[in-house]
């Protein structure tokens, strides 16, 4: 995650120095804690939180759990991970829905924190779970805030209640109260109230937000905070807690490149959990906040669970089963390949997905250089093919590939590379579908691995083994014409006899003792006699 990228790099470098030590001394622990303290302060984590965090890490690192561990370095990483989870809130906190609908959710925060866009993200996320959210435009101060909420609601596919034009016109308290009544009439089970923000904390803002809260009695008050505002995040959070109070925190702009450590301090200093995180500008760039998973990302331990959840949400199980059957029966086509690519793109940014893998920090440069548009170019190439060409790639001769390249705005080389990648992928997946292990390019076959079937018996080539070139050529010619050489017949028919004798058969009679007269004549003719 970009916001905590620098913090992740600093911590990874600190732990790297520990891995070379078989046993940690008190000096090693003190040096590690000192580096952790510097990394946290440089990331804008509040001083009070840093002191408490490093104190607990040092105490545990000098205790028995590290000194008796088989790998002290890994144990220290585990301690830092545990304490990081603690300052992020410990356990995940879910939304609490009202026993009698509608559930009322009020959004509060400074102007520019992203409340209006977040309202649409939250509404879309709730709609996916079967809820019927209603957005209420109670921000009547900021220019065009009402219009923006209407646009966001349309993009999210949810209803919006906006009786006032905004731009300084209307009573936000009345709009919020009427919005709840409207939700009851139209049977919406969730109401999300977007309130006004200011450029800074002031008495007027707090009074208005407090009046709205008093009027609608919300089940949840979410404090929306920009992860990039630095140390001011803590002061703002405390001011809102004193003036309005809130039940949970939402972090926005976690995809930014600023130091976001101050946002990590909010949960620890206010005692309110971080419930959601906004990770991009799209309405789907929104996810519940899991302290343990976020700690894993910061420490470059990966976030496989979130990656699996995203995959489950994007991929159709029935479609995946059909594709597996096609792999097994060797009927996987470029059309199927295109469908898989599109499903992969529906999961979101590939860079974000790869960054959730353990050790992704070591591939930082490769991730930065990865071009997300590669999938779009691949789709363009496949869509430039005819239906027959997609089902039968063997038809793609030179002229067809040139036409496809021109139609997709690519080069013939790129078309060739795509076809080659497709054939390799289909071959590997067919092997896997049959229960074997694929031969991964660059690695060679895996010893002891099955390949989905019995190995084919390769027939040995028949040929003469004579040392004399002339006789060897003559004997090979005889074999090619179907005539058995004398030696071969003798050795096969008179096993145990050193020279092909003793079989009891008369030569020239067509029996086991030797060749027939026709065979002898053919042999004489071949030898030129």
Contacts of 315 by beta carbon, 8 Å cutoff, 6+ apart: 343, 347
* Euclidean distance between CA atoms 75 and 18, whole angstroms: 10
**Annotated binding-site ranges:** 109-116, 194-198, 252-255
Annotated binding site for GTP: 109-116, 194-198, 252-255
What is the chain's length? 529
Whether the Cβ atoms of residue 161 and residue 185 lie closer than 8 Å to each other:
no
Q: Which of 54, 17, 59, 18 is nearest to 36 (CA)?
A: 54
Rounded to a whole number, what is the largest CA-CA distance in the chain?
124
Q: Which H/E stretch holds residue 224? A: strand 220-226
CA angle 412, 416, 419 (to 5 degrees): 140
Rounded to whole angstroms, the Cα distance separating 243 from 102 reads: 25
- Closest alpha carbon to 274 in 206, 212, 223: 223
Q: Tell me if residue 52 falls in helix, strand or coil.
A: helix
Find out whether 379 and 338 touch, Cβ atoms under 8 Å. yes
Classify strands 133-137 and 190-194 as parallel, antiparallel or unpaired.
parallel
Return the sign of the alpha-carbon dihedral for residues 342, 343, 346, 351. negative
Under DSSP, is residue 408 helix (H, G, I), strand (E, B) or coil?
helix
- How far apart, in whole angstroms, are the C-alpha atoms of residue 72 and residue 278? 36
CA 478 to chain centre: 64
């Amino acid at each position: 995650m970009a916001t905590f990228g620098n913090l992740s790099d600093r911590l990874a470098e600190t732990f790297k120095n520990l891995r070379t030590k078989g046993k940690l001394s008190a000096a090693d622990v003190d040096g590690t804690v000192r580096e952790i303290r510097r990394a946290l302060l440089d990331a804008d984590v509040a001083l009070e939180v840093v002191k408490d965090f490093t104190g607990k890490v040092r105490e545990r690192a000098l205790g028995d759990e590290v000194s008796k561990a088989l790998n002290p370095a890994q144990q220290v990483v585990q301690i830092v991970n545990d304490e990081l989870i603690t300052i992020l809130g410990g356990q995940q906190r879910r939304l609490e829905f009202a026993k009698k609908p509608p559930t009322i959710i009020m959004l509060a925060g400074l102007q520019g924190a992203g409340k209006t866009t977040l309202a649409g993200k939250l509404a879309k996320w709730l709609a996916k779970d079967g809820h019927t959210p209603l957005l209420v435009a109670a921000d009547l101060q900021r220019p065009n805030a009402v219009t923006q909420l209407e646009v966001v609601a349309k993009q999210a596919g949810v209803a919006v209640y906006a009786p006032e034009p905004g731009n300084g016109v209307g009573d936000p308290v009345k709009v919020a109260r009427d919005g709840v009544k409207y939700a009851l009439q139209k049977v919406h089970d969730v109401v999300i109230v977007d309130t006004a923000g200011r450029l800074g904390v002031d008495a007027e803002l707090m009074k208005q937000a407090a009046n709205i809260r008093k009027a609608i009695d919300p089940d949840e008050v979410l404090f929306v905070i920009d992860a990039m505002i630095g140390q001011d995040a803590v002061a703002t959070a405390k001011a809102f807690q004193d003036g309005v109070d809130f039940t949970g925190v939402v972090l926005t702009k976690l995809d930014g490149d600023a130091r976001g450590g101050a946002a990590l301090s909010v949960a620890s200093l206010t005692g309110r959990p971080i419930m959601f995180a906004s990770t991009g500008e799209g309405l789907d760039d929104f996810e519940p906040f899991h302290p343990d998973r976020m700690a894993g990302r910061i420490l470059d331990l990966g976030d496989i669970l979130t990656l699996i959840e995203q995959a489950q949400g994007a991929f159709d199980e029935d479609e995946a089963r059909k594709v597996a059957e096609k792999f097994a029966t060797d009927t996987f086509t470029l059309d199927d390949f295109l469908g898989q690519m599109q499903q992969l793109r529906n999961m979101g940014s590939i860079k974000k997905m790869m960054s959730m893998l353990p050790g992704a920090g070591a591939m930082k440069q490769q991730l930065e250089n990865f071009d997300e548009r590669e999938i779009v170019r691949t789709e363009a190439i496949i869509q430039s093919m005819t239906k027959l060409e997609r089902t039968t790639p063997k038809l793609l001769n030179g002229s067809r590939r040139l036409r496809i390249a021109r139609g997709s705005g690519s080069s013939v080389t790129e078309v060739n590379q795509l076809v080659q990648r497709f054939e390799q992928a289909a071959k590997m997946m067919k092997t896997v579908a049959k229960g074997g292990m694929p031969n991964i390019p660059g690695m060679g076959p895996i010893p002891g691995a099955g390949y989905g079937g019995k190995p084919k018996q390769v027939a040995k080539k028949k040929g003469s083994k004579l040392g004399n070139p002339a006789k060897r050529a003559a004997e090979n010619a005889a074999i090619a014409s179907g005539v058995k050489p004398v030696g071969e017949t003798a050795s096969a028919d008179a096993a145990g006899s050193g020279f092909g004798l003793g079989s009891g058969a008369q030569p020239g009679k067509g029996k086991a003792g030797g060749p027939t007269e026709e065979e002898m004549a053919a042999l004489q003719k071949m030898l030129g006699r």
